[in-house]
Amino acid sequence: MARLAAIVSCVVLWTTAAVADAPILKGTVGFDSMDIQHSKCTAVSGALLAKLTRNYACTPGDDHTASGVTAVAVCKAKKGNSEFDLFSTKKDCVNERETQLANGQGD
């Protein structure tokens, strides 16, 4: 019985750590950086939130973006060639998208 309790405790701690590391997507604003020409900055909610949660692997973002703005998260498609860069504000999203376009990314 003690062994079972120890195993359950380990699973709970591991699950809690994994959830704590997952970025919060709802309320962010993002675009598909693999299709910059056709993708616009869009609020993450509803259908887009469901799509990202189900079909993408999302990791915390960083400040290594083209514009220098810190990304909240980067979500890469589990299948196919799609990658959403997510930001805390629409202004940051537009800034990053325009910088990538100006740098010739997405051509």
Kindly report, residue by residue over 31-65, the tens digit of the pLDDT.
999 999 999 999 999 999 999 999 999 999 988 89
* Ramachandran angles phi, psi of 65, nearest 5°: -95, 165
Query: What is the SS3 assignment for 103?
Result: coil
Task: Please compute the mean of the pLDDT values over residues 91-95 and round it to a whole number.
Answer: 98
On average, the pLDDT of the chain sits at 85
- pLDDT at residue 22 in the model: 64
- pLDDT at residue 20 in the model: 46
- pLDDT at residue 10 in the model: 43
- pLDDT at residue 13 in the model: 41
Query: What is the SS3 assignment for 43?
Result: strand
* Ramachandran angles phi, psi of 76, nearest 5°: -105, 135
Residues composing the chain: 107
Q: Is the confidence at residue 95, as pLDDT, over 50? A: yes
- pLDDT at residue 105 in the model: 85
